[in-house]
Amino acid sequence: MRFSRKTKKLLGIAGPGVITGAADDDPSGIATYSQTGAQFGYGQLWTAAFLLPFMTAVQEAVARIGAVTGKGVAAIVKQHYRKEVLWGVIALVLVANTINIGADLGAMAAAARLVVPGIPFAIFTLFFTVVILLLEIFVSYKRYARILKWLALALLAYVATALIVAEPWGTLLRATFVPHIDFSFAFLFIITGVFGTTISPYMFFWEASEEVEEEEERKMTRKDAPPRLTKGFLRKLRLDNFVGMLSSEVTTWCIIVVGATVLNAHGVTNIATSADAARALEPLVRTFPNAGFIAKLLFSIGILGLGFLAVPVLSASASYAVAEAMNWREGLNRKFKRAHGFYGVITIATLIGLMINFVGIDPVKALVFTAVANGVAAVPLIFVIGKIAGDGRIMGEHKSGWLSNIFVWATFIIMGAAAIAMFATL
């Protein structure tokens, strides 16, 4: 009984921030972080701790925008900026998210085959696609949000994997807090991809829109609901957001560590997919009997759990952006018959992502470039978010304070500098 109460309390605290943070470590992100560790060892481990305050600040600003205005990012951009800005933003999100969906579905199928090798890749891919679409379209928002919160626990698989590998802890601590920068194109290309995978445009659209969904769900279930924007509510919003971003970066750190300690140390410097990373662990981890198999199994389970969480986030965030721009009815709390356009975009984006795995396009190569494109595309979006969050005409008394402004604008400068440095070394 006590465990049940604690679990319910934990799920009560967990909200859009926790789901967003977990979705940030999707199978494609796992592949990027695994490649980072495999290629550069501990050379980019510092990025996990370094990016935490910046991604937290940006996502807190995004969540606050959704909670205060009752609108998603695309709706705010449409209201206050030119059409070219709006459709440029939406095009970037649609293309990047669709490729991400394809890579994630493929990674989930490949990971499942490591656990159940007798079933063909195509069957697994189709099965995951159908299950995700059915859950997203036909399950009520309240129940679906609870499912996503439970799936966030898949992050623990990577913490466990890192712990069963013999680690040089002194080296890890130094690499975590002492930045290493190599001014080569390969290093800056991957680090821009890490930035773009960590602070991704789809996260902006998702978390803002989910804050709106949470409020609509609250009004539907409590007709006499008191005003939402209290100090207590904003404190809970920031706690939820911080827990989500911290969980994301701890997981990122663990994945890079496993890639560096196991793969890089044994001369494996190129990882095509997250499933390849899981497969490579089995013969190399020898901490105790069957440690390699357990490491592979945990890594695979994490890919599957986070894939089930991330694919709906990717498709829904794209759909929120399109629906807000087109003035369609939107939201996961609406039934299919009341939001055809919204669920239509979700379905089309997911099915195109599925087809990427069967038409000869290498989703992994596309994914690496998408991660880098995200790192570049996030720069103007962060600029827009910083302007909106700090605008008293839009946000009123809840506009960004000096600390939020410092970190949001520092994120804009840092990610812009990384992108410029990458192009300069090209």
Q: pLDDT for 354-373, tens place per residue?
A: 998 888 776 656 666 777 77
Model pLDDT, residue 263: 87
Has residue 426 got a pLDDT over 70?
no
Model pLDDT, residue 3: 46
Is 5 a member of any domain? no
Q: Could you tell me the residue range of the domain that residue 305 belongs to?
A: 26-425
Is 222 a member of any domain? yes
Is 19 a member of any domain? no
For residues 200, 165, 263, 23, the Cα torsion angle rounded to the nearest 10 degrees is -20
Is 16 a member of any domain? no
Rounded Cα distance, 30 and 168, in Å: 22
Name 189's Cβ contacts closer than 8 Å, sequence gap at least 6. 372, 422
| Average pLDDT over every residue of 209-220 | 76
| Average pLDDT over every residue of 43-52 | 93
Percentage of the chain beyond pLDDT 90 is 27
Question: For residue 327, with 0-12 CB atoms within 10 Å meaning exposed, 13-18 middle and 19 or more buried, which class applies?
Answer: exposed
Has residue 217 got a pLDDT over 80?
no
* pLDDT tens readout for residues 108-138: 898 899 888 889 999 999 999 999 999 888 8
Is 43 a member of any domain? yes
First to last CA, the chain: 60
Is 258 a member of any domain? yes
Average pLDDT of the chain? Answer: 84
Is 4 a member of any domain? no
> Which of residues 124 and 35 earns the better pLDDT score?
124
Count of the separate structural domains present in the chain: 1
| Average pLDDT over every residue of 156-162 | 85
Q: For the chain, state the CA radius of gyration.
A: 20
Model pLDDT, residue 367: 65
Is 7 a member of any domain? no
Amino acid at 188: L
Give the CATH number, domain containing residue 291: 1.20.1740.10
* pLDDT tens readout for residues 257-303: 988 988 888 888 887 777 778 888 878 777 777 778 888 888 888 88
| Average pLDDT over every residue of 83-105 | 85
Model pLDDT, residue 1: 46
